[in-house]
Structures are given as C-alpha cells and as structure tokens.
Amino acid sequence: MPNYIKVDNSRITISELMVPAHTNFSGKVHGGYILSLMDQIAFACASKHSKTYCVTASVDTVDFLNPIEVGELVTMKASVNYVGRTSMVVGIRVESENIQTGEKKHCNSSYFTMVAKDENGKSVEVPGLILNDKNEVKRYLKAIKRNETKRTRQAEFNDQNFSHHNYLDQLKDLKVKIELPDNFK
C-alpha cells in the first residue's frame, strides 16, 4: 500500500528581492528569470514530496499578468496539487510586493509537471496526497481536468487524419490572409 503525504508537508514558499541584474531591456524583471525561479521551486516542492530527485516534464500555461519592478519583493508559493504514479503537478503562485507601500500584485500562476527519478534516471512511484481542505480538493480536480484537456488536444493534433481543411473556416474573421497554391487546397 503506498504511503500518503499531506499537501502542507511539501508546500514551499520563497521570496527574493528583485535587483537591476534581473531586468530586461524595458527595465522590468525578465520573464526568463522568473521562469527559472519557478522551475527551482517546482523542483524543491516535488522533491520534498517524493523524497527523490525530480525533473520538469512540462509547464502548463505561464501567463504574465503584471510586470515585476526592480526593488519589489517576489514571493512564490508552491504546492503539490496532483499526483500520478510517478509524476506530480506543482501549482505555483507568483506575487510581487512593493516593500515601501505594501501593495501586492498577482504576477502569474502556473503548473509544472514534475517526474520523480531514481539514481539511475528511472521514473519512480511517488506518495499519494492527503487533501485537507476544499481548496486542495478543487486544485486536485482542476489538475485532472487540465490533464484531460491536454490529452484531448494532443490526440487531435497527433491524429493522422488532421487536415487544415477542417480549420480554414475558423480563420475567416482573423487577421490573416491565406494565399495557398492551387495544389495545396
């Protein structure tokens, strides 16, 4: 029988002050730097849950909602939202805080799928989750729904019979001009 671990037991929070070295050409904190921090916290959270080394398998939707300024304190909160046999979905919330005014902004949320590995690089089984409140149950169910949507999308795009003809009507009102050679139509 597999062991089970409470979501709280692998929850991680990190904070870091954003300095000029983290900026892009427009003076805002570079999104790539934030992604790197998110990958680190996802690794820490998944490794804490599984008690083993973990690798990033995929990242599901990273929407940058608000820019992060130099001098703001960035706080990332991560928890295991879902577990499969060898994988875990780690939910991450990123907030920035102006340390002078106390104003906080939600900058993004994302979901990293992490896979537990042994010392030989083989995938290993992870402990189950104990869900203790409605939010944890909701996050678990949403992770299942995201996985179902992802599988449906992958099946559609991987279908041998996928044809552009099935989708051309959807392009009529978009900002695109189609000029296909006659032999392509």
Q: Is 2 exposed, middle or buried (0-12, 13-18, 19+ CB in 10 A)?
A: exposed
Q: Kindly state the percentage of the chain with pLDDT values over 70.
A: 98
Q: Is the sign of the CA dihedral 32, 38, 39, 41 positive or negative? A: positive
Question: Residue 81: pLDDT band by 50, 70, 90 thresholds?
Answer: very high
- The pLDDT value recorded for residue 1 is 39
Mean pLDDT confidence for 155-167: 78
Structure tokens at 1: 């029988």
Under 8 Å between Cβ of 54 and 88 = yes
pLDDT at 115 over 80: yes
Written out in words, the top-level CATH class of the domain with range 4-160 is alpha beta
Query: C-alpha dihedral over 121, 55, 60, 28, to 10 degrees?
Result: -150
- The pLDDT value recorded for residue 25 is 92
Q: Kindly state the percentage of the chain with pLDDT values over 90.
A: 77
Mean pLDDT confidence for 138-154: 93
Task: Look at residues 45, 43, 46, 36 and name the one whose alpha carbon lies nearest to residue 16.
Answer: 36
Residues 18-45 have pLDDT tens digits of 999 999 999 999 999 999 999 999 999 9
pLDDT at 164 over 90: no
- The pLDDT value recorded for residue 185 is 58
Residues 44-79 have pLDDT tens digits of 999 999 999 999 999 998 989 999 999 999 999 999
Question: Residue 184: pLDDT band by 50, 70, 90 thresholds?
Answer: low
Q: Over the chain, what is the mean pLDDT?
A: 93
State how beta strands 4-6 and 72-83 pair: unpaired
Under 8 Å between Cβ of 66 and 31 = no
Mean pLDDT confidence for 106-127: 97
For the chain, what are the domain ranges? 4-160
pLDDT at 111 over 90: yes
- The pLDDT value recorded for residue 52 is 97
